[in-house]
Structures are given as structure tokens and as C-alpha cells.
Amino acid sequence: MSNAIRDSQISIIQPSGHVNASNAGEFQLQLTKAMVSEEHSVLLVDMHQVESLDSAGLMALVSVLSLAQSLQRRFSLCCVAPSIRIIFELTQLDKAFEIFDSRDAFAATIT
């Protein structure tokens, strides 16, 4: 369902296909493990291969965002397709998440 890429301070998760009720629990577990890891202080979810996102997938992201906030860690999304970005806009979660157009746009914010 997803790949994990790690560098010195950033963990990148790349889900693919459909993020829905059938795999949202596994997705949330992978995100949670990456978030609580002592190795990285930043988690980026690269969504360029995500074809669809249902409410269970969205709740997995919200749950990990809440965890990130409690741990005072950075949690961002990038490469969100317009058809999926509308979900964030309709739920006004685009105001809660850091959403970047590309990995390069995200990388430009890392100091």
C-alpha cells in the first residue's frame, strides 16, 4: 500500500491506490510508527499515487495530525491531487494540514 523513505530528519510515506476503510487501519499504524520514531522529527505524506481517499483514510490522517501536535512534531502532506484536495477543502481540513504542491515546495521550508 505504501513505501517509506527516510533521510536524516524526514520520514516520507508514499501511500498508493485507494486509501479507504479496508486499509486505513494499516495506513494509520504506519503513520503512527513513523511519527513516534525517535529518528525523525518530520513526517511527510507524499500523496501523488493516491487515487481515492474515503472518510476512514481521512480520519487516519487526522488522528496522526493530532498525535503530531501533541508530540510537537511536523506533519505535512504534498502532491495531493485536485480530486482529493477538494475533500480537505470541503471539510476545512486544508486549514489544519500543511499541504504542499510538491516535495520541492516542502523541502524549501526545511531549515
- 41-111: which CATH architecture? 2-Layer Sandwich (3.30)
Grid cell locating 107: 523541502
Q: Which residue in the block uniquely carries the three cell numbers 486544508? A: 94
Q: What pTM, to 2 d.p., does this model score?
A: 0.90
Q: Which of 83, 89, 87, 81 is nearest to 45 (CA)?
A: 81
Grid cell locating 16: 498508493
Residue 10: beta bridge partners? 42
Total residue length of the chain: 111
- Reduced to 3 states (helix: H, G, I; strand: E, B; else coil), residue 4 is strand
Domain ranges of the chain: 41-111
CA 93 to chain centre: 12
Cα→Cα distances 4→24, 30, 70, 95, 98, Å: 16, 9, 23, 26, 19
**Separation of alpha carbons 111 and 108, rounded Å:** 8
Residue 98: beta bridge partners? 76
**pLDDT of 5-63, one tens digit each?**
545 688 999 999 999 999 999 999 999 999 999 888 899 999 999 999 999 999 999 99
**pLDDT of 61-87, one tens digit each?**
999 999 999 999 999 999 999 999 999
